[in-house]
Amino acid sequence: MLDIKFIRENPELIREAARKKRLDFKVERLIEVDDKRLALLREVEEMRAEQNKGGKEVAAQAGDEDAKTNLVDELKNLKTELKAKEDELAAVLKEWQNLMLQVPNVPDVSVPEGEDESKNQELRRVGKPPSFSFPVKSHIELMQNLDLADFERGVKIAGFRGYILKNDLVLLTLALWRYVLEHFVRLGFQPLFVPSLLKKESFLGTGFLPQGGDDLYETKDGFYLSGTAEVAVMGAFADEVIPREKLPVKVFAFSPCFRREAGSHGKDTKGLVRVHEFFKWEQVVLCEASHEVSVKHHEEITAYAEQILQTLKLPYRVVLNCGSDLGLGQVKKYDLEVWLPSEKKYLETHSASYYHDFQTRRLNIRYRAADGKFRFVHSLNNTAVATPRFLAALLENYQQADGSIVVPQALVPYFGKQVISQSNEATS
């Protein structure tokens, strides 16, 4: 959410933000409704003041019953008029609040134009895709041959896109989680396990509602299942004032995640790339209200994720997302994409974003600045690792001619073996 004063003073920026993000939002309608809101507020306040004044005058007419009766009648009429005006204000406020939740954040000037993700701008490539002297297998084939997953039973118990991980792939997942956890703890992040069943307010605050509701699972009692730990972390700080000396707050949060994958019918229907339930470690940073500081942290959380990919020796690229590939609140976003040999393309594994005070204004997360004034902190987030999607790229890049999988050297101390093979025995 943006400040209404900023919106009124910069309607052309909001208009351009909606155009660049390809959102159907009319800032003119918001300003029109805001004019009504302000006018009605003034009328209601004036009528309440008149009502208070009348109440005092009634008390002063103790000896004149006729005057007192007339004043009481006038106050009854005023009360009726005030109730009607308050009802009108409530209706306008409801529309105003709904429109305010739809205002897009202004993207950074470096964000490229584009109708869809095909217009994302590649910034750099790191590592060279492996060259295989044998027919490349998909992660689905590799897992089935090595008894690492059971998709048939997964669908049986969980429906479409269901899966069960088995045997060494379970151990590899735990090894990966532990490796990534230790990496970020060394970087000064506070590790958290957070809930994924959350109240609506946290989704409204982070911008996942109302626009992203189609991709969320809602329970019958009004709770929602989260698609990222960012929602819980941000909600945990709602209505708090963070001491300035505690900034930046750097959190490393884990949770189960759920997404309906609305609009992705026919895409990646098999395997581990696009599933309804997954697990994710997420970086979340809260910092002082400075664009320069936000940019610094954005580059840092991107670099932290790149360090994971580099130590695992996975080829990847970094892309700058175009306007239409940004969420409502994002100012700028980088995607990290790892090479997927079976499809000869890069697969998105991380998204690093910053929001300025878009989320924290909605959630009322503040700090007292050096000048003594309260300001809304800035927020950022980035994936650390999301499984099982990440496993697809890991297995495919490390496959061998005999169908075995070499374990990245960085994970061997956590996994305990160097190779995953049909025998499931350690190989030197």
110 lies in some domain: no
Token couple for 93:
């406020």
Q: Which of 6-15, 21-30, 265-274, 284-293 has the lowest average pLDDT?
A: 265-274
Q: What is the C-alpha separation between 278 and 298, in angstroms, rounded? A: 25
183 lies in some domain: yes
Query: What is the model's pLDDT at position 263?
Result: 56
DSSP string, 102-116: TPPPPPPTTPPP-SS
> Does position 426 have pLDDT exceeding 50, yes or no?
no
> Does position 425 have pLDDT exceeding 80, yes or no?
no
> Does position 115 have pLDDT exceeding 70, yes or no?
yes
Residues of the domain holding 11? 4-100
Query: What is the model's pLDDT at position 64?
Result: 62
Q: What is the C-alpha separation between 299 and 316, in angstroms, rounded? A: 16
112 lies in some domain: no
Q: Are residues 366 and 322 in the same domain?
A: yes
**Given 73, 100, 127, which residue is the final one in a domain?**
100
Other residues' Cβ atoms within 10 Å of the Cβ of residue 231? 31
10 lies in some domain: yes
Q: What is the C-alpha separation between 280 and 272, in angstroms, rounded? A: 14
Task: Give the residue-averaged pLDDT of 352-372.
Answer: 97
* Residues sharing a CB contact under 8 Å with residue 89, sequence separation 6 or more, in sequence order: 37, 40, 41, 44
Query: What is the model's pLDDT at position 265?
Result: 56
**Given pLDDT bands bounded at 50, 70 and 90, which one contains residue 147?**
very high
Q: What is the C-alpha separation between 32 and 17, in angstroms, rounded? A: 19
pLDDT over 90, % of the chain: 86
| Closest listed residue to residue 51, CA positions, set 87, 88, 91, 80 | 80
**Given pLDDT bands bounded at 50, 70 and 90, which one contains residue 349?**
very high
> Does position 112 have pLDDT exceeding 80, yes or no?
yes
Residue range 38-74, pLDDT digits in tens: 999 999 999 999 888 877 776 666 666 667 777 777 8
253 lies in some domain: yes
Q: Are residues 204 and 290 in the same domain?
A: yes
Q: Are 372 and 353 in contact (CB under 8 A)?
A: no
Residues marked as catalytic: 259, 274, 348, 351, 389
CATH for 215: 3.30.930.10
- Rounded to 5°, the CA angle 87-92-13 comes to 165
pTM above 0.75, yes or no: yes
Q: Which of 49-53, 178-182, 227-231 has the lowest average pLDDT?
A: 49-53
Q: Are residues 55 and 204 in the same domain?
A: no
pLDDT over 70, % of the chain: 94
The pLDDT mean for the chain works out to 93
Token couple for 203:
């989704």
Number of compact structural domains in the chain: 2
Token couple for 40:
């009605």
- The three-state secondary structure class of 330 is coil
Token couple for 367:
């700090």
Query: 291 pairs with which residues across the strands?
Result: none
> Does position 209 have pLDDT exceeding 80, yes or no?
yes
- The three-state secondary structure class of 137 is coil
Task: Give the residue-averaged pLDDT of 324-350.
Answer: 97
Task: Give the residue-averaged pLDDT of 126-134.
Answer: 96
> Does position 225 have pLDDT exceeding 50, yes or no?
yes
Q: Are residues 178 and 34 in the same domain?
A: no
| Closest listed residue to residue 333, CA positions, set 17, 104, 108 | 108
Q: Which of 254-263, 264-273, 315-324 has the lowest average pLDDT?
A: 264-273
Q: Which of 60-69, 96-105, 377-386, 416-425 has the lowest average pLDDT?
A: 60-69
| Closest listed residue to residue 116, CA positions, set 323, 346, 264, 335 | 323
Q: Are residues 96 and 166 in the same domain?
A: no
Task: Give the residue-averaged pLDDT of 19-45.
Answer: 96
> Does position 427 have pLDDT exceeding 50, yes or no?
no
